[in-house]
Structure 1
Amino acid sequence: MKNNMMEYRRKFDYSQESLAQQLGVSRQTIISIEKGKYNPSLPLAMIIAELFQTNVESIFFLEDKDYKK
């Protein structure tokens, strides 16, 4: 899964540390999400989207939408 979290974080003027504190997670978690090494749980993704005043799909999306249904 890919994400636009760094762009949203910068748009809302959060440092990695301040965003982590706001969300109740570690700075390392924020770094891992931004690098695509960790996918947040659905509840955390929803909290992030609410904080950034958007929907989950605007921040987190599938890299390759050419999957079999």
Structure 2
Amino acid sequence: MKNLPRSRDLEILKRLARDPDPKVWEAALERLPKEALEEVYQQEMFAQFAGEGNWERLEYIEEFLDSRDSS
């Protein structure tokens, strides 16, 4: 079984997933377990509704979740 990040590490990854630099948030998103990735997706959706979201990040998360579901 794959080692899951500890809760402190998980919080750090979630913060990094909101970084403005695509290289940073892509790397963070790839390391998040599915449940945390879904949480970040919801947060990004809320940010979109508030006019502060990042469409590129949202689409990346959607594609990443789809690829995890199909594997």
User: How does the TM-score come out when normalised to structure 1?
Assistant: 0.31
Return the structure number with greater strand share.
1
The answer to which structure, 1 or 2, has the higher relative contact order (CA under 8 A, 6+ apart) is 1
Return the structure number with greater helix share.
2
